[in-house]
Amino acid sequence: MATKSKNKPIGNPTAFTQAAECLRTLAHPVRLRMVQLLLHGRYTVGELAEDCEVPDNVASEHLRLMQRCGFFTSEREGRRVYYKVAEPHLENIMNCIESRFLQSPE
The nearest distance, CB 91 to a second copy, in angstroms, is 10
Indicate whether 7 belongs to the interface with a second copy (CB under 8 A).
Answer: yes
In the range 47-76, which residues lie near a second copy by CB under 8 A? 51
Show contacts of 84-87: CB within 8 Å, 24+ apart.
84/38, 84/42, 85/35, 85/38, 85/39
* Partner from DNA, a second copy, none binding residue 8, C-beta < 5-8 Å depending on class: a second copy
Q: Per rule CB under 8 A, is residue 37 in the interface with a second copy? A: yes
